[in-house]
Structure 1
Amino acid sequence: MGKTIESVTFDPSYYPAAVVSCAVFLYLYKYAGPNISSKLSPKYSSLTEADRIDWNTRFNSSLHSTFVSCMCVYSLIYDEDISNEPIWANSPMVRTSCAIVVGYMTCDVLIMTIHYKKIGEVFYFFHHGASIYAYFYVMTYGVLPYFANFRLMAEFSTPFVNQRWFLDKLKYPRTSTVFMLNGLAMTITFFFVRIAVMPTYWRRVYSVIGTEPFKRLGHISLVLVITCFILDSINIFWFYKMCHGVRKVLTIYSNKTPVPVLNHVDKEE
């Protein structure tokens, strides 16, 4: 008989990685981020307090998404076990990635809670809560490594979203070449890593539903289906806003009117 969630030992060995991740991102937010940002962009110091707080969280977000997505690509290419056994394969790399994500999102929730009046949004508490809930099980029990790794590769689009916000705060014209190129890169990347991959992801989910390994998940099977359905619904909403922005880009070239390039799109994890 194979593993069941009841038979898998509660394994907190990856918790230190989550704690270190949270501590590192808190340090980056409080000290390293502001120092680096002020040196790279003198305008950083002239921002409002709320904008500096938001800037520092996006600085963290960009570093986190770049690092984790690279780890996920490595796992996808070199870790054959997670493809052969997507539910129960034990992948230290994937579990470490999830621990880093849990630590980062915990840090982000703490910052948003402390500065709720300035940058807090209920939407992001909901998003982070759903993500932490899902990756907690992967980190703790080692289950669903393939699906967790697949979902985290979506982070490739996040730096472009943050870069758009940075350009806006630095007063780059929304009709400038750099603003429009970043906006198009953001939309294209978002489409490929979050929207276009949905059929592939859900086809793989469908292929394991009802199998013996899936049945042995017990209640954790809800993480695979419900949490990912919620996150995909959020991604579709974001992509709708981006497409609305692309339409405005096309309007610029067809009517030659100085309309904004893209609607406001907030950061996503």
Structure 2
Amino acid sequence: MEIKSYQDQAELFVKEYLLSDSIIPYTSVICGICACMMVYDLTQLFCNVYFKSYPSLSKIKQIEWISRSISTFHAIFIAIMSLYFVFWSDLYSDHQYADLVAFRSSALSTFTLGVSVGYFLVDLGMIIWFYPFLGGMEYVLHHLLAVAAVAYSMLTGEGQLYTFMVLISETTTPGINLRWYLDTAGMKRSRAYLINGVVIFVAWLVARIILFVYLFYHLYLHYDQVKQLNTYGRMLIVIVPSVLSVMNLMWFGKIIKGMRKTLAKRK
């Protein structure tokens, strides 16, 4: 009975405090930061035990190895949740609810965005702390835009559908990180490296080019709703995807050049 009582108290605490509507954003950001710290420690422990080449890497290479592990875990989490909300959940369906799709949110969608904010804050901090070894100014700009847009959507509940559409682009991150691992392991001439390049090309084309076209088409169809957002919300929903689209096209060009070099070396 005593154990049951403690369990009931714990469930009540989680429901009324940690998952109450007013505190979900702050709880979720903290959870995201803590999750990043946990992955950091576990990756360091795992690599020291199972990867013989890891201890021989330079300090900055070890930091980048761990940083990419954190971004991979976040990418898997947010990609799955974003795909669910955009394509399978009824939350943003045009035919399911009477209220405007641009203003819809739920406790789960807000919590998910908060976890992502926590990750972007941690990763941005690491990029700035070790600048420019973990990424140049384009990475800083990318993360600043991500923090601003995702945090705004999390706190206000506005434009969450479009935020999740943009976050689907994180599906390309595991492939990009795997390519770095293969390169670091000296496997640039391996079949795995070639297959990885093809997968990245297809995933980038779908998740960062075609999907953004669909996003702007959806914005066009629902522009009467978007106009009802406040000025800051409208700016973020339109400007952030536009800037990211340009960056995605630039990076896509680099991916194509990289594939050409890889294929040329294999001939």
Q: Please indicate the TM-score interval, normalised by the length of the shorter structure.
A: 0.7 to 0.9
String of CA shifts for 1:174-204, please: whole Å, max 9, x gaps.
2210111111111111111111222211111
Distance 2:259 2:176 in 1: 14
When normalised by structure 1's length, the TM-score is 0.84
> Contact 2:219–2:226 (CA<8 Å) still a contact in 1?
no
**TM superposition shift of 1:244:** 1.2
**TM superposition shift of 1:131:** 0.5
Q: Indicate which of 154, 166, 182 corresponds to 1:151.
A: 166
Alignment of 1:72-151 (within 5 A): 72-84=82-94, 85-116=100-131, 118-119=133-134, 121-151=136-166
Give, as a single letter, the amino acid of the residue that structure 2 aligns with 1:23.
C
Q: Is 2:176 aligned against 1:161?
A: yes
Q: Indicate which of 25, 38, 56 corresponds to 1:14.
A: 25
> Contact 2:25–2:110 (CA<8 Å) still a contact in 1?
yes
> Contact 1:81–1:89 (CA<8 Å) still a contact in 2?
yes
Q: Which segment drifts farther, 82-91 or 198-207? A: 82-91
- Counterpart residue number, 2:208: 194
**TM superposition shift of 1:98:** 1.2
Which stretches in structure 1 are left out of the alignment for 5+ residues?
1-9, 257-269
> Contact 1:18–1:101 (CA<8 Å) still a contact in 2?
yes
> Contact 2:103–2:157 (CA<8 Å) still a contact in 1?
yes
Q: Tell me the SS of whatever aligns to 2:103.
A: coil
**TM superposition shift of 1:137:** 1.3
Identity %: 24
**TM superposition shift of 1:118:** 4.0
**TM superposition shift of 1:78:** 3.5
- Counterpart residue number, 2:37: 26
- Counterpart residue number, 1:264: none
Distance 1:217 1:117 in 2: 37
Distance 1:201 1:58 in 2: 27
Distance 2:256 2:101 in 1: 33
Q: Tell me the SS of whatever aligns to 2:247.
A: helix
Q: Is 2:245 aligned against 1:232?
A: yes
When normalised by structure 2's length, the TM-score is 0.84
> Contact 1:71–1:93 (CA<8 Å) still a contact in 2?
no
Coordinate RMSD, CA, aligned: 1.8
Q: Is 2:76 aligned against 1:66?
A: yes
Distance 2:49 2:248 in 1: 34
Q: Indicate which of 190, 199, 207 corresponds to 2:221.
A: 207
Give, as a single letter, the amino acid of the residue that structure 1 aligns with 2:114.
A
Distance 1:120 1:160 in 2: 17
Q: Is 2:261 aligned against 1:248?
A: yes
Which has the higher relative contact order, 1 or 2, with Cα contacts under 8 A spaced 6 or more apart?
1
Distance 1:47 1:188 in 2: 31
Aligned pair count?
241
Distance 1:93 1:240 in 2: 36
**TM superposition shift of 1:252:** 4.3
